[in-house]
Amino acid sequence: MSQPFYVSPEQVMKDRADYARKGIARGRALVAVRFDDGIALVAENPSSTLRKISEIYDRIAFAGVGKYNEFDQLRVAGVRAADLKGFQYSRDDVDARSLANNYAQILGQIFTHEMKPMEVEILVAEVGVTPDTDQLFHVLYDGTVFDERRYTVLGGDAEAIGARMKETFADDQQLGAAVKEATKALSGPDRTLAAGDLEVAVLSRSNGRRCFRRLGDDAVAEALAD
């Protein structure tokens, strides 16, 4: 039996992280931004059927970037966990923080114990009853969780997009302005993104029990035109 070569744990972790980051950087980015009535999620996604953004529960949305089959598996697990919890206890007991922690556990476990880490970054967003209880949890491929306050950027080129968001972000914007701002940050100065290149959804406080709503191409085009 041949003796395997010794590889230091630091090297193993670094290689895995590099692998995951490369996979994520190949995909297109996504921005979540708060506005006066809730949270807008804007993704660069030319497909109108394979979604990056979706509904998890009454006030909670999910967004993923990276490898589609991997974040979709996490999305479905989230819907199941939320529906089960709501069925077992009450609809009010389903919250984004515990979902984000669950995701962090799973991603951390896979990152350290499996051959291949998941090439995904995900966002769990919850719109509060009042604006000050809105929550954005950004979970990385290795299970690291960030709790963001105003906006968050997922995916390749996140730093540059984040820098552009930082320049333009203002509190209490209207939905149209927030979508336009996120689109500009995603596209950068050298290109423009049309409604057909985007997937946009909102968690809106004024939308009744189920706060999640998708914006069609027409609504997005209108927001971008203003």
Partner 1 sequence: MSMPMFSPGADPGSSFPELLKRVGLAPAADFHGDLSVPHATTCVALRFADGVVMAGDRRATSGNLISHRGMEKVVQADQHSGVAIAGAAGPAMEMIKLFQLQLEHYEKVEGSSLSLEGKANQLSMMVRGNLPAAMQGMVVVPIFAGYDLLRANGRLFTYDVTGGRYEEHDYVATGSGMLHAGTVIKIGWRDGLDRAAAVALACRGLWEAADADSATGGPDALRGIYPVVATITAGGWQRLDDNELVDVFESIASEVRSR
Q: Are 122 and 142 in contact (CB under 8 A)?
A: no
Nearer to partner 1, 35 or 141 (CB): 141
Q: Are 62 and 98 in contact (CB under 8 A)?
A: no
- Residue 168, classified by CB atoms within 10 Å of its CB into exposed (0-12), middle (13-18) or buried (19+), is middle
Q: What's the CA gap between 71 and 67, in Å, rounded?
A: 6
Per rule CB under 8 A, is residue 55 in the interface with partner 1? yes
51, 138, 180, 205: residue in contact with partner 1 (rule CB under 8 A): 51
Nearer to partner 1, 98 or 168 (CB): 98
Token representation of residue 14? 């670094």
Per rule CB under 8 A, is residue 84 in the interface with partner 1? yes
22, 26, 80, 116: residue in contact with partner 1 (rule CB under 8 A): 80
Per rule CB under 8 A, is residue 79 in the interface with partner 1? yes
Per rule CB under 8 A, is residue 145 in the interface with partner 1? no
Please list every residue from 97 through 116 that binds partner 1, using CB under 8 A: 98-99, 102-103, 105-106
Give the shortest CB-192-to-partner 1 separation in angstroms.
28
Q: Which amino acid is at 12?
A: V
Please list every residue from 164 through 223 that binds partner 1, using CB under 8 A: 210
What letter would DSSP give residue 57?
A: E
Nearer to partner 1, 98 or 187 (CB): 98
Q: What's the CA gap between 133 and 47, in Å, rounded?
A: 32
Q: What are the backbone angles phi and psi of residue 198, rounded to the nearest 5°?
A: -115, 150
Chain residues in the site for partner 1 (CB under 8 A): 51, 54-56, 73, 76-81, 83-88, 98-99, 102-103, 105-106, 210
